[in-house]
């Protein structure tokens, strides 16, 4: 079968997207998803997404990691899918969609997409790190110089270590630049490597730095290898609410791929 695909990237976090409103893609074939995401034998991407219909919403987001498995929420993926939905005339400048972690809202402003993330009601602070779920589970640790961290090996050691069990967690390394700005590098499970950006990770870092008192601001700038993200939020009685992840969501190219199904 032949499928039209669209490639998008959000601060270097790249995705292959299919319009699956006709439900033609065989979603049970995780091997096909892994093949599509393979950078040598497929199109190449950090993740794969399907845009589908959903009653009561503009659309449904179905997200797969590069290994072919359906995954938890992807913030940059959500922003890119919103941009794709606008390209398909599914939305204009506002979106209300459903994802694996629940409903989301988003606003498109030229090439920027601001995505409302889920509320975070629990932040676990340990001596060496902070842990929370921002739609995906994230481990956040401060380091003196993030550019000197062996993200792949150190991230894998934490991701596969005893701390998070078989499910594992995404791992973020952070260095503070000033009161409002932090440099971030992320190891993503499912990709099993460092990615140029992680939206749920940037969100977790911003909340963690506020929780630790590293910043008093509720609008944080995150420098990631692929660009710049912004996270704004409100402090709630138990955690954080009205959390918005903002950054570019860019169309890269489109094409047709033939798959043996």
CA atoms within 13 A on the CB side of 31: 3
Domains in the chain: ranges and CATH: 2-116+249-258 (3.10.310.10), 123-246 (3.10.310.10)
Centre a 10 Å sphere on the Cβ of residue 17 and count the other Cβ atoms it contains: 27
Residues contacting residue 60 through CB under 8 Å, at least 6 positions apart:
51, 52, 53, 54, 97, 98, 99
Query: Taking all residues of the chain, what is their mean pLDDT, rounded to a whole number?
Result: 97
pLDDT value at residue 261: 78
User: Which residues are registered as beta bridge partners of 146?
Assistant: none
Q: In the predicted model, what is the mean pLDDT of residues 69-96?
A: 97
Taking 90 as the threshold, does the pLDDT of residue 193 lie above it? yes
CA distance 258 to 194: 29
CA distance 148 to 190: 23
State pTM to two decimals.
Answer: 0.96
Longest Cα–Cα distance of the chain, Å, equals 54
pLDDT value at residue 61: 98
Burial class (CB in 10 A: 0-12, 13-18, 19+), 63: buried
Go through 201-227 and write b for each residue having 16 or more CB atoms within 10 A of its CB, e for each that does not.
bbbbbbbbbbbeeebeebebbbbbbbb
Q: In the predicted model, what is the mean pLDDT of residues 77-93?
A: 98
pLDDT value at residue 212: 98
Q: In the predicted model, what is the mean pLDDT of residues 190-204?
A: 97
pLDDT value at residue 260: 85
37, 80, 88, 198: the active-site residue: 198
Q: How many helices (H) and strands (E) does the chain have?
A: 4, 17
Distances (CA, A) of 220 to 11, 18, 172, 206, 211: 16, 32, 16, 6, 12
User: Position of tokens 């609008």?
Assistant: 219
Q: What confidence tens digit (pLDDT) does each residue in 104-137 have?
A: 999 999 999 999 999 999 999 999 999 999 999 9
Label residue 99 by pLDDT band (50, 70, 90): very high
Q: In the predicted model, what is the mean pLDDT of residues 189-210?
A: 97
pLDDT value at residue 187: 98
Go through 127-137 and write b for each residue having 16 or more CB atoms within 10 A of its CB, e for each that does not.
eebbbbbbbbb
Taking 90 as the threshold, does the pLDDT of residue 214 lie above it? yes
37, 74, 80, 88: the active-site residue: 74
Taking 90 as the threshold, does the pLDDT of residue 191 lie above it? yes
Read off the tokens for 45: 């991407």
Label residue 143 by pLDDT band (50, 70, 90): very high
CA distance 199 to 228: 11
Instruction: Please confirm, yes or no, whether 80 is among the known catalytic residues.
Output: no
Label residue 228 by pLDDT band (50, 70, 90): very high
Residues contacting residue 168 through CB under 8 Å, at least 6 positions apart:
137, 159, 160, 189
């Amino acid at each position: 079968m032949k499928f039209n695909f669209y490639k998008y990237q959000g601060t270097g976090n790249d995705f292959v997207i299919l319009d699956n409103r006709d439900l033609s893609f065989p979603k049970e074939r995780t091997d096909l998803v892994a093949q599509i995401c393979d950078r040598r034998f497929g199109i190449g991407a950090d993740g794969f997404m399907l845009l589908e219909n959903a009653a009561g919403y503009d659309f449904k987001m179905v997200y797969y990691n590069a290994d072919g498995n359906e995954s938890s929420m992807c913030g940059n993926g959500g922003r890119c899918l919103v941009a794709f939905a606008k390209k398909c005339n599914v939305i204009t400048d506002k979106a209300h969609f459903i994802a694996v972690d629940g409903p989301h809202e988003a606003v498109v402003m030229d090439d920027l997409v601001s995505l409302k993330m889920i509320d975070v009601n629990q932040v676990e602070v340990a001596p060496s790190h902070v842990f929370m779920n921002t739609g995906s589970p994230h481990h956040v640790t401060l380091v003196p110089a993030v550019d000197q961290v062996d993200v792949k090996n150190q991230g894998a050691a934490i991701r596969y270590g005893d701390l998070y069990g078989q499910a594992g967690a995404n791992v973020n390394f952070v260095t503070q630049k000033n009161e409002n700005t932090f440099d971030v590098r992320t190891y993503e499970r499912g990709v099993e490597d460092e990615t140029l950006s992680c939206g749920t990770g940037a969100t977790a870092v911003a909340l963690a730095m506020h929780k630790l008192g590293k910043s008093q601001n509720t609008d944080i700038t995150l420098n990631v290898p692929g660009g710049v993200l912004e996270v704004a939020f409100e402090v709630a009685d138990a955690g954080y609410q009205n959390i918005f992840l903002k950054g570019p969501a860019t169309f890269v190219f489109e094409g047709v791929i033939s798959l043996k199904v």
